[in-house]
A and B are shown apart, each in its own frame.
Chain A
Amino acid sequence: MSIPKEYTDYIDWDRLPHLWCPGCGNGIALKSAAIVLAKLGISPDNALMATGIGCSGRAGQYVSFHSFDGTHGRTLAFCTGINAAQPELTIIAFLGDGDCGAIGGNHLLHAARRNVNITVLEINNFNYGMTGGQFSPSTPVDSISSTSRQGKGEYSMDMCSLVAEAGANYVACTTVYHTAELNRFIKEAISTPGFSFVEIASSCPTYYGKYNNIGGAPEMMEWLKEKALRMEEYKKLPIEEKQKHLPRGKLVHRDREDFHTMNMKQISI
C-alpha cells in the first residue's frame, strides 16, 4: 500500500458528515492524529484507530485505516493483545475521559505499567457527552452536569500524573485550542516506543459549556485558551486552584524498555 502524503488520505470522507456536535473538539484531535500519521509516513495498513464508548468512540469510522471499537473502558486491554500479536502496528487509542479514568482506570494504569506500545489520546471533554452530559472523574469540582445539578462534590482526577507514575514513556497535556502544540505532542507520543499518553482538554458546548455558562463553541475555545497554564505555573498552584485551571506541557519523556521488547526476552527460540 502506498504511503499517503496528506492527512486527508487518512480520513474516510465517504463517512462524513460526522455525528459530533458543532463546536466539539473531537474533530480537531482526529485531524491532528491524521496530520501526524501523514507526517511520519505511517502506512494506513500499519495503523489502528482504537476507540471505546462515547463521543470519542465514533472516531474509528471516520478513518481510512484499521479501526477497533471496543467495549466501554476495556480498549487498552484489547490493545495489549493487539500489540502482542502485531508489534509493528501503530496503535492510536482515541478515548474519552470516562473511558480512561473511570470504567477503564485499572486498564490505563496496567497498560502504562507494562509500557505497551500504544499512543493514548485522551479527549477530556469533562463529561459523558454521548449519553447526556453526566459528570466524569475529570469534571472539575463544583461543575454543573446532568448528574451534579448542585455542583460536583468531588475533586477531579489528575490522569497524567497517574499515568506518569504508573510507568508510561511519554506523558503530555494540552488543549484543542493549542493545535500546534497538540500536533507536536502527538508526533512525539507516536514516535516514542512504549506507552504514550496525551491528555487533550476539549470543548463540549452542548453539555459542559452550556451547563456551566461558558457559552457556545467560540466561547469554549476562549475558555480553553484562558484556563490553560504552562505546566511550571500550574504545578505551583494549591489543589483547590488547580481545579480552576488546565495544565499544558510535558510530564515525562523517557525510554524504559517497552512491553514487546520485554516479551521477546521471554521467548527462548
Chain B
Amino acid sequence: MKKMFVQGNTACALGAFMAGARFFAGYPISPASELAEYCSEELPKLGGIYLQMEDEIASIAAVIGASLGGMKAFTATSGPGMSLMQENIGYASMAEVPCVIFNVQRFGLSTGVATSPGQSDIMQARWGRHGDQTIIALTPASVQECFDLTVEAFNLAERFSSPVIVLSDACIAHLRERINIFEPEELKIIERRKPDVSPKDYRPYLPDKRGVPTLSHYGGKHILKTTGLVHTETGHPSSKTEVCASLMDRLEMKIEEYQDELPPPKYYGIKDAETVLISFGISSRAAREAVHRANLAGFSVGLIQLQTVWPFPEAVIAEYCSKALRIIVVEMNRGQITREVERIISKPVEVHPLLRTDSNIFYPEEVLEKIKGVQK
C-alpha cells in the first residue's frame, strides 16, 4: 500500500491497473481525457496496450474485442461519447463480455458544458440501450472511492460476466485527494474463469448455478462463438420463443438475484433518523457535511450514500428508511433518482427532491437549508 495525492481520473486508472486491466481503448473527450492520457503513459510500462480509436463506437468495440481475447479491458468517456457507445454496451450485455466503462459525467444534454460536472446520465446508464436488460453502475464520491470502486467494477465484470459502468463526474474526476493505493496482493481480485470441461464438450453460454456462463477466449482451445443475436448455449443464433424467454430471464436473474454482492450504500449520521437524505457522487459530499451540521444542531437526520445506483438497492434503502418520516433526494439532475425513490417508498413518507441543474455543484449550506425547511 502506498499513499498518493492524485485526481479522480488517475485513481480510476490506478484501480484498473491493480485489478489487472491491461487494455484501454478510448477517444479523447473532456472531462475524461486525463484517464486516457495516464493510460497512454503507464499501460505500456506494464506491458499493456493503449489504443486511441477513431471514435467512441470503435473504442468500446475494441474493448469488447480485447476482453474476448482474454484481457481485462476498459474505456473512459463522457456524455456524447457515452451516447455513441450504447449499442455496443448492449452487445456486451447480450454476449456477456466483461468490461468496464467509465462515464465521467459532464453537464447537460447534447454537448452541454464540456468542463462542468453533471449527474444526469443516471437513467442513460440504466436504459440507454434498446431492449430489456440489467446493468451494474457504480458511483464514487471521493478519489479513494474512484480507486476502490474501480477495483470492484472489474471484479463484478468478471463475477457476473457483464459490462459494468462507473459513473464519476467532472468534479470528482479533477478533485485531488490523498488516497491509499493498494497492490494486487492486498486486494481481492477476481480473474476470468476458465472452462473446466474438455474442448469437445464446451458450450460457451452454458450457465453455472448462478446463471453465469464461462467464456473461453479467442485463440483458446475451447471454441468460442459470440453474437448479439438471441443465442443458445452453444452461442449459435436462435429465434425460438423458448430460447428468447430463457435468455432474457437469465440475463436479468444473474444480476438481480445477487444484488447483495454489489457495493452497499454507506450510511452517515443518526441511525433510524426521521429525515433521511439519499445522494451519490459529488452531491453526497455536500449532503454528508450538511447532515453532520444538522446532527450537531440536534436534528434527527441521516444520509444514504449510494455506491451502486443500478440495480437500484431497494431493499437496503427501505431498511435504512424504516423509521423515516421524510426523505430528501440530493442530485444534480431533474430527479432521476428521486423517481426511483418515489417508486419504492410509499406514503405517508414524504419524498422531497433537492435538485440542481445549473452546472454547479451543491454546497452544504443549501442542503442544510433544505433539511431545516422540510421539518414540521
A269 nearest CB neighbor, chain B only: B47
**Contact segment of B155-163, B226-234, B265-273, B315-323:** B226-234
The reply to whether B55 and A82 contact each other, CB–CB distance below 8 Å, is no
Give complex CA distance A71, B91 in Å: 7
Q: C-beta contact mask, B20-62 vs A, less than 8 Å → 1, else 0? A: 0001010000000000000000001111111101110111011
| Partner among A45, A64, A269 whose Cβ is within 8 Å of the Cβ of B220 | A45
B49 nearest CB neighbor, chain A only: A84
Contacts of B226 in A (CB 8 A): 67-69
The reply to whether A71 and B69 contact each other, CB–CB distance below 8 Å, is no
- Asked whether A144 is an interface residue with its Cβ less than 8 Å from the other chain, the reply is no
| Partner among B53, B63, B91, B223 whose Cβ is within 8 Å of the Cβ of A64 | B223
B88 nearest CB neighbor, chain A only: A71
The reply to whether A84 and B229 contact each other, CB–CB distance below 8 Å, is no
Q: C-beta contact mask, B230-243 vs A, less than 8 Å → 1, else 0? A: 00000111000000
Give complex CA distance A70, B87 in Å: 11
B65 nearest CB neighbor, chain A only: A81
**Contact segment of A85-93, A126-134, A213-221:** A85-93
Q: C-beta contact mask, A61-78 vs B, less than 8 Å → 1, else 0? A: 100111111110010011
- Asked whether A1 is an interface residue with its Cβ less than 8 Å from the other chain, the reply is yes
Q: C-beta contact mask, B214-229 vs A, less than 8 Å → 1, else 0? A: 0001111101111111
Interface size class of B (residues with CB under 8 A): 35 or more
Contacts of B68 in A (CB 8 A): 68, 78, 81-82, 85
Q: C-beta contact mask, A156-195 vs B, less than 8 Å → 1, else 0? A: 0000000000000000000000000000000000000000
Tell me the count of chain A residues lying within 8 A, CB to CB, of chain B: 39
The reply to whether B88 and A74 contact each other, CB–CB distance below 8 Å, is yes
The reply to whether A107 and B54 contact each other, CB–CB distance below 8 Å, is yes
Known: A69-B229, A85-B70, A268-B44. A110 touches B64 (CB 8 A): no
Give complex CA distance A71, B227 in Å: 9
| Partner among A60, A79, A88, A268 whose Cβ is within 8 Å of the Cβ of B65 | A79
Contacts of B50 in A (CB 8 A): 266
- Asked whether B251 is an interface residue with its Cβ less than 8 Å from the other chain, the reply is no
B25 to chain A, nearest CB (A): 6
Known: A77-B58, A80-B51. A15 touches B236 (CB 8 A): yes
Give complex CA distance A84, B33 in Å: 22
- Asked whether A16 is an interface residue with its Cβ less than 8 Å from the other chain, the reply is no
B64 nearest CB neighbor, chain A only: A78
Q: C-beta contact mask, A35-50 vs B, less than 8 Å → 1, else 0? A: 0000000001110100
The reply to whether B47 and A267 contact each other, CB–CB distance below 8 Å, is yes
Give complex CA distance A107, B65 in Å: 14
A196 to chain B, nearest CB (A): 18
Known: A74-B57, A110-B58. A84 touches B66 (CB 8 A): yes
The reply to whether B64 and A81 contact each other, CB–CB distance below 8 Å, is yes
The reply to whether A80 and B23 contact each other, CB–CB distance below 8 Å, is no
With A82-B68, A86-B219 given, name 5 new contacts (CB 8 A).
A45-B221, A66-B219, A86-B69, A88-B219, A110-B53
Binding site for A on B (CB under 8 A): 23, 25, 44-51, 53-55, 57-59, 61-71, 73, 87-88, 91, 199, 217-221, 223-229, 235-237
25 examples of A-B residue contacts, CB within 8 angstroms: A44-B223, A58-B237, A64-B223, A67-B235, A68-B218, A69-B227, A69-B237, A70-B61, A70-B228, A78-B64, A78-B65, A81-B63, A81-B69, A81-B73, A82-B65, A82-B218, A84-B51, A85-B67, A85-B71, A86-B70, A86-B218, A106-B54, A267-B44, A267-B48, A269-B46
Among all A-B residue pairs, the 3 with the closest Cβ atoms: A85-B69, A81-B65, A81-B62
